[in-house]
């Protein structure tokens, strides 16, 4: 790496931490039912909504009821998205006159947005009407994110509960998170984005004659740029770890991400809420050291992998160097691997974003990951395969990390021969089983899904690149969907029936086979009484436990995925070196 | 549980799906009308492009932007996207080799090495910028084609260099359309519009 990159990296992580700590404390207040602001217009709106919906805001749900509410709510959202996509041609808010979305793509997209994945088997500007972008996709960006945070709140309540068994009300959690956290953050970010040049209009398009028409072989005389309510969607897709772009090029599109300032704001927004939730968790379990320890463990994995990704992209592509291309990093050019990158962003901004968006299960991109160098693509892939627990999806990522914490105390307990405890709750067979189930289900989906794709001609036939890179495209697709990330190696053709069904299944497994075990675990923990910490208790804060947690995450990820990674990016890297 | 699910979904569809984008659109149209509508640049009252969107250019008298992988043609605003060619793909190497050949043929004897961003496709296919190095590489060709002193064209490029934010974030860059429009201004738009007037509708 060269001089400016370490400063940019340090500034990024510094700004992230500075914003996440106070936000985390605020979210803890939002999630405390006995908490603040039972007066004021927001509280009146909330009470009105509860009355209309027939919700008792004081209800303490069992884990089964909480999970049932989440599932029904998500299912209703999924059906609504599907219906709007299929009916868009007959509904208003379609100034470009787009036809109905094809059935399988519409189903895949509905699953994708309801599960907080935002995998996109379509190009947004050419497929979705304004109404669908707003009333279907933007809504699920809010609600799937709120669902993830609600499940985290339930798990935290299960941990602190004194054998009462109550996890709070799913309806209250979703309402308060949406109204008090996501909406205000999204509105503020969206306005900043518009100021910088992100469109926000109900006009269909802008068009103009090109400066030098007929100069290209295709005799283009006019440029047409679809417009719409872009900023309002981009803001929440960044903040809610959704990632689904308004345009096909996502945040590489100059209308989604026009300046270095928007790139900084959007890349901070990717990690802001997942990072803040670490501190929220510390506040909810009444031990801030727990939040800091988990935050430190996440950063200890993310920071080196970010540096590695940036370094790989700045080093550039040896195949092009052989042609005499100047890819050196100087004051006059960003250099490095510029295929699939924007000039205003360059390899450093693209590397930071790639690591952040795959660490958090965001999945938005500001560069084409498919054209990254083999190692530059390897680290983002690994970050997804670790189970989206390094920050991960809003709420769901921290839940995943807490499962690893339970496995870590279990392993430590085995080593010293004591019943493991986590935050005063004894960890028993059922709890470890739930943790392992939630960790193994997405991993199995990735590996078996990739293996199946390798055997089905209709699946592997759509790869966009020859050799090991084609395998990487399929491995990336399954790693992304089964961990609810949503980014892609875009060369893979995913609009056919095999891929829409396989990735749709992967998204459902990745979301609900984590969410249900987490809630079952929360219910199990909530029924247990708290045991005071004794001299034999392993403290779950401080550097020792952070190290143990990092080791557990990396070990499980490495044992599961190194063979698969060796077949894709590792082979490709060695081939490029050998040229 | 069905009732709260349906009622809250409907309520949040109204709030986050309609009220939020509608209020934001109203605010944006009042506070930042130019940006909210695509940052369109106008000349003599007619739109000539967007400050944020690159254009397909191959006339020797203009600076050219990054290669674009949009289909069917380059810089197609309705189909943003990248080539998605992997780093080891022979098609990538072949495409870059062809682009180098075109650049060399357009400016024989240019001793400068070819900057990487000038021969690699952008992620959006609509990249409005070049690195300063990629713009400077083209100074010789543009100056010759316009019959201008190279120093004058170079000075114009240097005036159009935008530094990284706070010197840290993002890359140094040149907006190609802004540079080309300024170049037309410098040459006297009367002369230039006369030369390209048949192809460029001016009121």
- Of residues A239, A407, A385, the one with CA closest to residue A305: A385
A73 membership: H or E segment, kind and range: helix A63-87
pLDDT at res. A161: 86
Q: Look at residue B201 and tell me whether its pLDDT is greater than 50.
A: no
Characterise A308 by phi-psi region: left (phi > 0), alpha (psi -120 to 50), beta (else).
alpha
Range of the domain at B155: 39-50+61-196
Residues in B touching A230 (Cβ below 8 Å): none
Mean pLDDT by 10 residues, chain A (579 residues): 78 96 95 68 92 93 95 96 95 91 94 93 84 93 95 93 85 95 97 97 92 64 92 95 91 96 96 96 93 96 95 93 91 94 95 95 94 96 94 93 94 87 91 95 96 94 93 96 92 92 95 94 91 84 94 95 96 90
SS3 label, residue B196: helix
Q: What total of structural domains would you count in chain B? A: 1
> Residue B199: which pLDDT band, with cuts at 50, 70 and 90?
very low
Closest chain B residue to A253 measured between Cα atoms? Answer: B124
Strand runs labelled E in A158-309:
205-209, 222-226
Top residue of B76, B164, B171 to mutate, by most chain A CBs within 10 Å, is B171
By C-alpha distance, the chain B residue nearest A264 is B169
Which value, in Å, is the radius of gyration of the alpha carbons in chain B?
22
- In a domain? residue B176: yes
Task: Please indicate, yes or no, if residue B2 is contained in any of the structural domains.
Answer: no
Interface test with A, best of B37, B56, B88, B180 (most A CBs within 10 A): B88
**B79 domain residue, yes or no:** yes
Closest C-alpha to A239, from A367, A149, A169: A149
In the prediction, which pLDDT does B191 show?
41
CA distances for A448 relative to A222, A498, A564, B56, angstroms? 47, 14, 11, 44
| Cβ contacts of A198 on chain B, cutoff 8 Å | 35
Residues of chain B with Cβ-Cβ distance to A178 below 8 Å are: 12, 15-16
Measure the CA dihedral B190/B195/B200/B201, to 10°.
Answer: 60
DSSP A530: P
Task: Domain ranges for chain A, please list them.
Answer: 396-577
Helix (H) or strand (E) holding A421: strand A421-422
Is B14 part of a structural domain of the chain?
no
Region B51-65: what's the mean pLDDT?
Answer: 93
Mean pLDDT on B167-189: 90
How many other C-beta atoms lie within 10 A of the C-beta of residue A437? 17
In a domain, B11, yes or no: no
Q: Is residue B65 part of a domain?
A: yes
Residue B72 domain-assigned (yes or no): yes
**Phi, psi angle pair for B161, to nearest 5°:** -75, 125
Q: Which of A229, A245, A344 to mutate to test the interface with B (most CBs of B within 10 A)?
A: A344
Nearest CA to A406 out of A382, A442, A430 is that of A430
Q: What is the ipTM of this complex?
A: 0.92
Q: What is the pLDDT of residue A458?
A: 92
Instruction: State the pLDDT confidence band at B1, using cuts at 50, 70 and 90.
Output: confident
Say what the pLDDT of residue A38 is.
67
Among the listed residues A505, A523, A446, A441, the one whose alpha carbon sits nearest the alpha carbon of residue A115: A505
**pLDDT for B62 beyond 50:** yes
Interface check A10 vs B, CB under 8 A:
no
Of B13, B79, B170, the CB nearest to A344: B170
| pLDDT per residue as tens digits for the range B101-122 | 999 999 998 989 999 999 999 9
Q: Quick: pLDDT tens for A320-376.
A: 988 989 999 999 999 999 999 999 999 999 999 999 999 999 999 999 999 999 999
| A 111-150 residues inside an 8 A Cβ radius of B | 123, 125-126, 134-136, 138-139, 142-143
């Amino acid at each position: 790496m060269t001089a400016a990159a370490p400063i940019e990296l340090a500034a990024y992580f510094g700004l992230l931490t500075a914003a996440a700590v106070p936000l985390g404390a605020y979210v803890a207040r939002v999630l405390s039912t006995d908490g603040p602001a039972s007066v004021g217009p927001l509280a009146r709106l909330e009470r009105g909504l509860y009355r209309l919906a027939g919700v008792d805001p004081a209800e303490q749900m069992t884990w089964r009821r909480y999970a049932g509410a989440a599932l029904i709510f998500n299912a209703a959202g999924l059906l609504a998205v599907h219906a709007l996509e299929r009916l868009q041609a007959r509904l208003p808010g379609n100034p470009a006159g787009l036809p109905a979305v094809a059935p399988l793509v519409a189903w895949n997209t509905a699953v994708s947005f309801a599960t907080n994945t935002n995998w996109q088997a379509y190009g947004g500007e050419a497929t979705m009407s304004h109404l669908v972008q707003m009333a279907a996709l933007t809504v699920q960006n809010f609600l799937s994110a709120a669902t993830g945070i609600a499940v985290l709140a339930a798990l935290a309540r299960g941990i602190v509960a004194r054998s009462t068994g109550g996890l709070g009300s799913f309806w209250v959690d979703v309402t308060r998170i949406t109204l008090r956290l996501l909406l205000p953050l999204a509105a503020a970010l969206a306005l900043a984005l518009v100021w910088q040049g992100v469109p926000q209009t109900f006009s269909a398009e802008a068009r103009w004659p090109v400066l030098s028409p007929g100069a290209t072989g295709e005799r283009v005389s006019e440029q047409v740029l679809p417009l719409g309510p872009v900023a309002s969607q981009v803001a929440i897709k960044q903040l809610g770890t959704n990632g689904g772009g308004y345009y096909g090029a996502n945040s590489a599109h100059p209308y989604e991400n026009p300046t270095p300032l928007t790139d900084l704001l959007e890349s901070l927004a990717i990690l802001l809420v997942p990072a803040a939730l670490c501190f929220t968790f510390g506040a909810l379990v009444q031990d801030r050291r727990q939040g800091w320890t988990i935050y430190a463990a996440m950063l200890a994995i993310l920071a080196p992998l970010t540096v590695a990704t940036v370094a790989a992209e700045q080093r550039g592509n040896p195949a092009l160097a052989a042609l005499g291309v100047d890819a050196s990093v100087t004051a006059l050019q960003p250099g490095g691997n510029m295929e699939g990158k924007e000039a205003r962003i360059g390899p450093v901004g693209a590397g930071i974003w790639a690591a952040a968006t795959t660490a958090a299960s965001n999945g938005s991109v500001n560069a084409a990951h498919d054209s990254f160098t083999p190692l530059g693509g390897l680290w983002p892939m690994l970050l997804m395969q670790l189970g989206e627990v390094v920050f991960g999806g809003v709420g769901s990522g921290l839940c995943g990390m807490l499962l690893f914490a339970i496995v870590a105390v279990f392993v430590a307990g085995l080593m010293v021969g004591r019943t493991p405890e986590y935050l005063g709750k004894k960890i028993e067979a059922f709890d470890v089983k739930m943790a392992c189930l939630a960790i193994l289900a997405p991993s199995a989906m990735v590996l078996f899904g990739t293996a199946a794709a390798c055997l089905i001609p209709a699946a592997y036939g759509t790869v966009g690149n020859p050799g090991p890179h084609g395998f990487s495209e399929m491995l990336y697709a399954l790693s992304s969907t089964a961990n609810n990330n949503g980014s892609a190696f875009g060369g893979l053709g995913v609009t056919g029936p095999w891929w829409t069904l396989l990735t749709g299944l992967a998204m459902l497994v990745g979301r609900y086979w984590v969410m249900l075990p987490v809630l079952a675990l929360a219910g199990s923990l909530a029924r247990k009484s708290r045991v005071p910490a004794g001299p034999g208790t392993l403290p779950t804060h401080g550097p020792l436990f952070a190290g143990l947690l990092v080791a557990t995450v990396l070990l499980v990820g490495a044992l599961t995925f190194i063979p698969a990674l060796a077949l894709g990016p590792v082979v490709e890297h060695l081939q490029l070196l050998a040229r | 549980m069905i009732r709260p699910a349906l009622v809250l979904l409907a309520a949040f569809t109204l709030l986050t799906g309609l009220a939020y984008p509608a209020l934001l659109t109203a605010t944006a149209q009042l506070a930042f009308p130019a940006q909210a509508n695509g940052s369109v640049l106008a000349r003599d009252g007619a739109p000539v492009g967007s400050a944020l969107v690159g254009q397909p250019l191959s006339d020797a008298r203009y600076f050219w932007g990054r290669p674009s992988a949009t289909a069917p043609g380059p810089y197609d605003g309705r189909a943003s996207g990248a080539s998605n060619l992997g780093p080891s793909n022979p098609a990538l190497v072949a495409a870059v080799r062809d682009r180098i050949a075109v650049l060399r043929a357009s400016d024989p004897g240019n001793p400068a090495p070819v900057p990487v961003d000038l021969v690699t496709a952008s992620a959006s296919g609509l990249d409005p910028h070049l690195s300063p190095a990629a713009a400077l590489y083209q100074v010789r060709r543009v100056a010759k084609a316009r019959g201008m002193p190279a120093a004058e064209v170079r000075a114009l490029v240097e005036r159009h260099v935008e530094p990284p934010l706070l010197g840290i974030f993002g890359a140094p860059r040149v907006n190609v359309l802004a540079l080309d429009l300024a170049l037309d201004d410098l040459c006297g738009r009367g002369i230039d519009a006369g030369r390209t007037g048949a192809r460029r509708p001016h009121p």
